[in-house]
Structure formats: C-alpha cells, structure tokens
A and B are shown apart, each in its own frame.
Chain A
Amino acid sequence: MNHKTAPVEVRERLAFAEHSIPTHLKEIRGLTQIEEAVVLSTCNRVEIYGAANEPSVALEGLIDYLVNHFEVTPGEVEFYRKEAEEAAHHLFEVASGLDSMVLGETEIFGQIKKAYATAQSSGATSRRMNKLFQQSFSIGKLVRSSTRIQQGSTSVGSAAVDLAEKIFGQLDGCRVMIIGAGEMSRITAQSLRSRGASSIIVSNRSFDKAEELALELDGKAVKFDDWGGHLNEVDIVISSTGAPHAVVHKSAVEKALDDRRGHPLFLIDIAVPRDIEDEVNELDNVYLYNIDQLTRIANDGVARRERQIEVCRAVIHQFLEEKGIEALAEIPSQRLNRGPFSPNDSSSSEPLPNS
C-alpha cells in the first residue's frame, strides 16, 4: 500500500519499525513459498517484494501475515498485489520517483537502496531479488539523468531555493537575511540553509522573536531599524513582515548595490501585503519574486513533472526492451518460448518476484 491507496492513519499503523525489519524478513521468508524478500517501509509506502514459485499462494500468505501481525481487519486496508512484470515494473517506477507523492523526488531511491541493503545483510535476498533491485537502481539513475522528471520546483520553498541556485549556483557561503520572523520565512531559510546557505541575519519588529529564530537557524539577530545597513552584506533577502506598506524600497536596494561589486541580489517577498517595492526588479542584477510568482513556478513545476511521466515510462520501456527484466530471465528452464518484454503482458505463470 502507499499514499495513494491508504491514508496516513493506516500507513502509520502498518509501518515497519526499522530495527524490526530483519525479524520481519525472517518471518516472511518462513511463510509458504516465499524464498526471498525485501521490505520497503517509508512514510508514504509499505511494500514487500518477494520471490516465490507460486506467486498467488505466496501473496495470500503474505496478506494473512500482515493482517495478523498489524491487527487490521480483513478488508480494512486495500493492499495492491502485483506479479511478474507488473511487480518489477512497479519497483522500477517507484525507484524512478514516478510513484512518489512529489514526482521525481530522489529520497525514495536512497530508501530503496537501504531496504535492499537491510534485506541483503539479513540474508533475505538471493539471485532474483539481487537482479531485480540492481536493475531498479540502474533504471532509477537512467530515468533521472535522461529526463526532466526532477526539473521544476514543486513548492514555494523549493521554488525559492531553485531560483537561488539558478542565480548563485551552489549556495555554499551564500548569506541570507530574514526580515520578519514568520513561519514561511523560517521554512524558506531552512531550505536555503540545507543547501549550504550560511550567515543568516534575522530582523523583526519584536527583537525577542528575531533572537529566537536566529538561535534556531544558528544566525544573528539585528534590530529592525538596522536591517538596511546589512543589505549590502547579504545575497538573499526573505521578507515576510506584517507591515501594511512596503518595507524595502528601491532607493535602499539601489544604495546597497553600490557596495556589492557586481554580485547579484535575490529578494523573496512572501508577505501580503507585499514588503518590497515592485520597481526593485527593474534594477540590474536584482531579482525579486513575490508569493504569487513563486506559487506559479511551483504549480508549473508540478505540471512539468506530470508531463514527464510518459517520457520516463518510455525510457523504462526502451531499457527493458533492450535488456529485459533480468530477475525473470534468471530462471532459464521456465523462460522458454518467451517473447520480448511487453508492459501489457502480465499473463505469465512462471515463478516471479511479487509485491
């Protein structure tokens, strides 16, 4: 099950505690027919991949195990069951980020790697799971490198960070100033900090609040009347005050530019009413974005990624047409008379990895 088939209340009940996964793997492999297994348990999905000679029998046993173990009533949870190419294909799409809540995100790739490593170190994988997961890693990398599934921002915070990276490149050493210590400022500053931004200056009408946020972000608080004096020292300004009028004027930015020796300045205005005069964007080397513009970029990013799904699927399809699903080809005696891979072909009755 995943975020599309089960609400968070169900997903949190069925989540496997990380430390208990080796035990679960042992128990799952003790079930009828299941020879190999990998448990992928994240906040958005709980999936069990297995290799068995009788997939349908193994699947029934697995669902009974989950129902009993997690004390869910039959029918309470909608488990999806996939066999053969369908199961392999599902894993390839998951590894490529096509099944993620945020399309194309990369965290899932690391989570699959970790799940596979755990299963491998627990002795729960063998040739079929090894082949299947190794191939999923190759496909995940290929899809990300040859398509634009990761391109475009999907939230206001990530839009701000992506824009900052298109201006400054790597954000290591970038200096940030926050004017107005609101929640959105905090989130955006944290996103920038996670990408390497440093030297965060926080200014707020209430100095206590500025100090509090500065402490949280490992930055420095300055009095609200003094922020203008620091404008020439920073690369990124995030403004989110509750002022009913503009706080950052074109003249102040123009003055700061004289001391910036050609370095660009990125201004993020997430306040409503807006804090920064629109005319600031007319200045050379200054880039101003307000909340609506960031939201529009985020929405465009989501749409852009959605349009890439078919491109990604075509890449996976082409890869499999050339190489086939290695985990299935691993059993020559039961692969006889089999044609090339077709994504619509799920009529096989051979031993398969299931999920």
Chain B
Amino acid sequence: MDDIYLIISSLIFLVGFVLAVVSLRAGRQGSVRLNIGLAVTGLIFQSLFLKERGALHGRCPITNGAEVLVFISWSVVILYLALGRAFRLSLLGVFSMPLVFMFQCIAIVSLLSSDPGARPPATLDPWLELHAAMSLLAYGAFGLAGIAGVMYLVQDRQLKSHEPGSLFYSLPPIRYLTDAMLRLLVIGTVMLTIGIVAAFFMETFPDALHLTVSGAVWIVYVALLIIHLVSHLAPKQLSISAMVAFGFALLTLSAL
C-alpha cells in the first residue's frame, strides 16, 4: 500500500507541473490555488507513505536511500507550503515539482526493485530521530534555495537579454528571489546545525565517514553564508553557489 501512496503522490506532482506549464504556455495565469491544492494533496499521500514506512520500521522512515529521497521531497513540499507565500514565491512550487517528481520516481523504482523491508531499531533513540529528521529537513531547505537560484538565473537572463518571454511575467522579482534564497540557506543551515548537534547526544556515536560527510555539508553552507556576510556575493554568484552546494549535498547522501 505504501508504494501506491508514493505513486499517487508522484503523479499528483507531475500533474501539477504539467498543468502549470500548459497554462503558462497557453497564456493563462496559472491558478495559485490549484497549485497549492495539488501540493497539499501530494503532501498528504507523501505523508501517508512515510507513516506506513514509519509503522513498518517503528521509527523515522529514513532507513534506506529511497526513503531518504522521499523524506527530502516531503521537506521540500512542506517548506514550500509553509514559506512560499511568505516569501512571495508562489511559482516556487511549480519549479519544485520536477525535482520532487524525479526524487520520488527514483524512490519508486528502488523500492519496487528491491525493498529492504522492515529495519526496526534495537532501541529507539530520540536524538537519532532528531538528528535524521532535522538534517533531511535542512536538505529540503537547501533544495528550495537551489530552486530559487535556478529561478533567479532564469529571470536574470531574461532581464539581461532585453527580450522577456512569457515566463518573465510569471516569475517573481529578482530581489524577492535573492531574499528567499538567502533565508532558505539560513533556515537550512540552522536545521543542519541542530541535526549535527543532536548527533553528539546519540546513544551510538555516528561513524567517522558519516560525521565527516555531514560536517563537510555543514562547512560548505556555513562558509557560503560567511562569505556572503563578509563580501556580499552578487546574487548571481549566490544562486550558482546555492545550486552547486545542493548538488554536493545530494552527492554526500550516497555516503550517508
């Protein structure tokens, strides 16, 4: 049943993305309510999947790569729903949906081909749960920052080219994108910091590789924020950095 929830959720995100693209191309203003409605419905099915997997394992469902990808996707959607409007970025959802769809497709293929099954913990360690959940929520925020970076580069290119296309009118102002990107980087770094601090209280201390990789991601983002604070990176540089940093963070997942 959990696979079905995941497939339904993925299809909803695909439909949301296709509808948004079709309405943008047809010259109609995409419905923000419809986008949010689809995102909420997709989130419900994602949550059902995670609930089923959580019940199977008896702990936070991040025991394999597929679950981790779904958890990050869930984080992206929930952060978009929580912050998208506050950051005046309703179109962030449209740009997030392909990423979420892609992650979940990989998860579906992985689970359908070889589902490792239940992996109950010997003892439930709340610090481990906090470490894992906060770290993956941080990845969600970093993912959204990277998406905001993509949106910035698209809008910057349109402004520089002097020939704004139809996307130009739908995309938010570049200042809002820059602000949102920075806030998401800060939010993600704070969450990751909490996750890493939680790791020090775990009953079983993480192995050296896990600690090194988590530390490397944390150092990359902290360094990015410090460099921006000190030397005021141009928004274009910040966008590219946010995208590259998220790519790096994703690569480290395989080591975790």
Contact = CB atoms under 8 A, between A and B. Distances in A.
A218 interface: no
Chain B, interface size category, equals: 20 to 34
Given A264-B174, A308-B27, A166 B159 contact: yes
A147 B162 contact: no
Interface string B116-153: 00000000000000000000000000000000000000
A264 B27 contact: no
A152 B112 CA distance: 48
Contacts of A147: 27-29
B173 A168 contact: yes
B210 interface: no
Interface stretch (A53-61, A244-252, A279-287): A279-287
A307 B237 CA distance: 37
A145 B162 CA distance: 26
Given A165-B173, A167-B175, A145 B88 contact: no
Contacts of A262: 178, 232-235, 238
Contacts of B212: none
A297 B164 CA distance: 8
Interface in A293-321: 293, 296-297, 307-308, 311
Contact of B235 (A168, A285, A308): A285
A307 B28 CA distance: 11
Interface string A257-296: 0000110100000000000000001001101010001001
A284 B174 CA distance: 13
A293 B158 CA distance: 13
Contacts of B28: 146-148, 311
Nearest to A293: B162
Contacts of B29: 145-148, 151
Interface string B149-180: 00000010001101110001101111110100
Nearest to B177: A169
Interface residues of A, number: 26
Interface in A174-224: none
A152 B169 contact: yes
Interface string A149-170: 0011000000000010111110
Contacts of B237: 284
Indicate the member of B168, B171, B236 with the most A CB atoms within 10 Å: B168
Contact of A167 (B159, B163, B232, B236): B159
Nearest to B174: A167
B88 A148 contact: no
A84 to B, nearest CB: 29
Contacts of A307: 27
Interface in A123-160: 145-148, 151-152
Given A146-B28, A165-B173, A293-B162, 20 more contacts: A145-B29, A146-B29, A147-B27, A148-B28, A148-B29, A148-B169, A152-B169, A163-B159, A167-B173, A167-B175, A168-B173, A169-B88, A169-B173, A262-B232, A262-B235, A281-B160, A285-B236, A287-B159, A307-B27, A308-B27
Interface of B: 26-29, 31, 88, 155, 159-160, 162-164, 168-169, 171-176, 178, 232-238
- Kindly list the 5 A-B residue pairs having the minimum CB-CB distance in the complex, ordered from nearest: A169-B173, A262-B232, A284-B234, A293-B162, A261-B232
